[in-house]
Amino acid sequence: MNIHFIQHEIFEAPGAYLQWAESKGYNITFSKVYQQQALPISVENIDLLIVMGGPQSPDTTQEECSHFNAKAEMSLIGRCIEADKAVVGVCLGAQLIGVALGARFERSPEKEIGVLPIRLTKDGINDGKINHFGSTLPVGHWHNDMPGLTPESRVLATSTGCPRQIVAYSNLVYGFQCHMELTPEVIELLIAEEEDFLINNTTHQFVQKPNEIRNYDYNEMNEKLFLFLDKLTNAYENKHLR
């Protein structure tokens, strides 16, 4: 299994996604675009593409952020989808998937940062890859926006502050607005990037303070993510072994 990560910033690290891939002994490659690493030219050697988050949006131009080429990333995502590869997008990555498929990302009703519960919808409860999350699950959040919806997509989970937390675009393509990959190490990177805002925030009701975020045990959400990834890669292998 060949896993390729697109990472936009050092502080938007893959965390538990990388732990899972390493634990399986999979072949792992990266496009760390903040280090000017190139995107893959071909999708032939990709089985699962994981597109991480970032402070950018799908509308961010290269004039605004020289290392982020949204059009090139969406082209790669589109080619992976056309080739029946598995694709997972996290936060910005989820929004890029939606736009690549013709949907329009939108501003989330609320900014969410910290650990807050998501609730599975009826479609989520019926989705065999995530129904082990249970009806509600505390997960990580660090966002302003949310992914767009296509006619074929299904919203699998929502939160009080955001109606599109997990979106299934197809049997092999999933967008996670939430961050189930968070670990104590990743949390420290994120907090360091926005600590002043987190400490001084008085206007956003779903933004937690640094120590509250630090003190959470992320193991449960990580374990739930691992099982989702197992199910997704099994579905991919079964499809491609036919």
Chain center to CA of 216: 20
Widest Cα–Cα separation across the chain = 55
Q: Report the CATH number of the 2-241 domain.
A: 3.40.50.880
Per-residue pLDDT tens digits of the chain, which is 242 residues long: 999 999 999 999 999 999 999 999 999 999 999 999 999 999 999 999 999 999 999 999 999 999 999 999 999 999 999 999 999 999 999 999 999 999 999 999 999 999 999 999 999 999 999 999 999 999 999 999 999 999 999 999 999 999 999 999 999 999 999 999 999 999 999 999 999 999 999 999 999 999 999 999 999 999 999 999 999 999 999 987 65
How, if at all, do strands 106-120 and 48-51 pair? Answer: unpaired
In this predicted structure, what is the pLDDT of residue 242?
Answer: 57
Q: Which residues contact 68 (CB under 8 A, 6 or more apart)?
A: 8, 33, 54, 56, 60, 62
Count Cβ atoms below 10 Å from residue 39 Cβ, excluding itself.
Answer: 13
Q: Fill in the amino acid letter for 13.
A: A
Residue bearing tokens 């936009």: 8
Cβ 134 vs Cβ 120: under 8 Å: yes
Q: Which of 95, 90, 78 is nearest to 148 (CA)?
A: 95
**pTM above threshold 0.85:** yes
Q: Where are the domains of the chain?
A: 2-241
In this predicted structure, what is the pLDDT of residue 184?
Answer: 97
Taking each continuous run of H as one helix and of E as one strand, the counts in the chain are: 7, 9
In this predicted structure, what is the pLDDT of residue 239?
Answer: 84
Count Cβ atoms below 10 Å from residue 240 Cβ, excluding itself.
Answer: 11
Chain center to CA of 238: 23
How, if at all, do strands 154-158 and 106-120 pair? Answer: antiparallel
How, if at all, do strands 166-168 and 27-32 pair? Answer: unpaired
Quick one: tokens of 92? 């910005």
- DSSP characters for 184-213? HHHHHHHHHHHHHHHHH--S-TTB--HHHH
